[in-house]
Structure 1
Amino acid sequence: MDHPEEPAAKPKGKTAARRAARSLAMQALYQWQLAGHSLNEIEAQFRVDNDFSAVDGAYFREILHGVATQKTELDAELTPCLDRPLDELDPVELAILRLSTFELRNRLDVPYRVAINEGIELAKVFGATDGHKFVNGVLDKLAPRLRAAEVSAGRR
């Protein structure tokens, strides 16, 4: 009897739960940006439509509500690192950049390299063909501004 190939090992525990939370939060932020529905409506819909058993639900909520609450400040941090006006960004890339900027600004427990890598991975999955390169370039400019000590320590 043939056995199907085992799927590649997926990260387990906190790392996988956070990655799942980021993925769903990015999709929820995208929806919020485009549709303008209330965050509570969007959050409730995502919790009904998705299996949250392997998702860090508290992290999902923190990102979704944190990005929305700090949108003006996050956009102000991002804008100097962009090569075009904010309103010309692809909406998926904008959601990813806001999420990553939120993590860099507010979650010092998440190493800056992890925040950047997670943004790049989201862009590879959800973004345009070379969107991950754009996201990488913006976050590489942003990290030293928001995490100067951590970035310079990492470069020594």
Structure 2
Amino acid sequence: MSQNDSNSQPPKSAAPAKKGPSPKTLARRQARTLAMQALYSWHLAGQPLHEIEAQFRVDNDFTAVDGAYFHEILHGVPRQKAEIDSAFEPLLDRPMDEMDPVELAILRLSTYELRNRIDIPYRVVINEGIELAKVFGATDGHKFVNGVLDKLAPRLRADEVRAHRR
């Protein structure tokens, strides 16, 4: 063994283990998932929001859900529905009344976040919308959601998008 070999450091392991999302991130993701389903229900059934929220809290285990965030989205989207819809409607390739109700709920939720939750990076909002569409939407619904949100983000978060692209 040469002198260099005896003084060498042990080999470093490959890449460090990748950490998963934080509990807060997972709780917020669960809140988004349930809120999207609740908004879908609200859109189709037109039930009062307090009834939908109560039913979701009874039917789902909220121990790992950011309940406050679920409440904010569920009540914030309908309260701002006209402004939210007018923000993304010009970017659609079809009339709103022909949209898939799941994709509509996702776009409303994501637009709400882009407009009101600047603490959440726009890329996270887009990614979460895409993931919801992959799970709950039609076959290529995630592509549609991605296309609309990619066009919407620079309109609602111009400075943030510009800074990211530099």
TM-score (norm 1): 0.93
Aligned-pair CA distance for 1:74:
0.2
- Note if 1:133 corresponds to 2:140: no
Q: CA deviation at 1:10?
A: 5.7
- SS of structure 1 residue aligned to 2:64: coil
State the alpha-carbon separation in 1 of the partners of residues 103 and 42 from structure 2. 14
Q: Identity over the aligned pairs, expressed in percent?
A: 78
Which one of the candidate residues 50, 75, 78 is aligned to 1:68?
78
Choose 1 or 2 for highest CA Rg.
2
Where in structure 2 are the equivalents of 1:102-117 lying within 5 Å?
Answer: 102-117=112-127
Quick one: which amino acid aligns to residue 14 of structure 1?
K
Structure 1 equivalent of residue 102 of structure 2: 92
Residue 40 (structure 2) aligned to one of 30, 44, 50:
30
Q: 1:78 aligns with which of 76, 88, 94?
A: 88
Residue 122 of structure 1 is matched in structure 2 by 132
Contact kept, 8 Å, 1:10 with 1:16, in 2: the verdict is no
Q: Is the 8 A contact 1:103 1:110 kept in 2?
A: yes
Structure 1: any 5+ residue segments left out of the alignment? Answer: 1-8
CA contact (8 A) 1:144 1:151 kept: yes
Q: Which runs of 4+ in 1 moved over 6 A?
A: none
Please tell me the root mean square deviation across aligned C-alpha atoms, in Å: 0.9
Measured against aligned partners, the alpha-carbon deviations of 1:11-68 in whole angstroms (never above 9, x if no partner) come to 3411000000000000000000000000000000000000000000000000000001
Partners in 2 of 1:112 and 1:11 — Cα distance?
A: 17
| Rounded Cα–Cα distance in structure 1 between residues aligned with 2:89 and 2:38 | 22
C-alpha displacement at 1:92, in angstroms? 0.2
Tell me, yes or no, if structure 1 residue 16 matches structure 2 residue 23.
Answer: no
1:145 to 116, 131, 155: 155
The superposition leaves residues 58-99 of structure 1 with CA deviations (integer Å, 9 ceiling, x where unpaired) of 000000000010000000001111111111110000000000
Picking from 52, 56, 59, the partner of 1:42 is 52
- What is the distance in 2 between the residues matched to 1:37 and 1:12? 34
Q: Provide, for residues 121-140 of structure 1, a one-character-per-residue CA deviation record: whole Å limited to 9, x for no partner.
A: 00000000000000000000
Distance of 1:137 and 1:147 partners within structure 2: 16
> How many residues in Structure 1 have an aligned counterpart in Structure 2?
148
Hey, what's the Cα distance between the residues in 1 that align with 2:161 and 2:22? 27
Conservation of the 8 A alpha-carbon contact between 1:96 and 1:123: yes
